[in-house]
Amino acid sequence: MSKFHELINRNTPTLVDFSANWCEPCRKMPPILNEVKAELGDSVNIIKVDVQKDKKAAHKYEITNIPTLLLFKNGKVIWRKSGVTGAREISNAVKKRS
């Protein structure tokens, strides 16, 4: 969990994909997030959190639906979206809040 806290507390935005292996919609997110990373490069960190393995983080950030994306900057949630989300919407959200 300390690596998680280190990443979300950076000045560089960190996008966290809260998901689970058994979740069919969650399986659609990796290629979308790869596209976002390819476009934005080092201007964003992207990590995945399995809600079943890290129940504390899921509870702390009130993750009730998956997939849920949270964008952090300096330890604060600056954007949140649940459900499968397109690369353009995600990229725009990061760019607006960087």
Determine whether 11 is an active site residue: no
Burial class (CB in 10 A: 0-12, 13-18, 19+), 11: exposed
- From the list 7, 23, 47, 78, the catalytic residue is 23
- From the list 26, 49, 63, 70, the catalytic residue is 26
From 38, 21, 31, 14, select the one nearest 86 (Cα to Cα).
31
Determine whether 8 is an active site residue: no
Contact 69, 36 (CB under 8 A): no
Catalytic residues: 23, 26
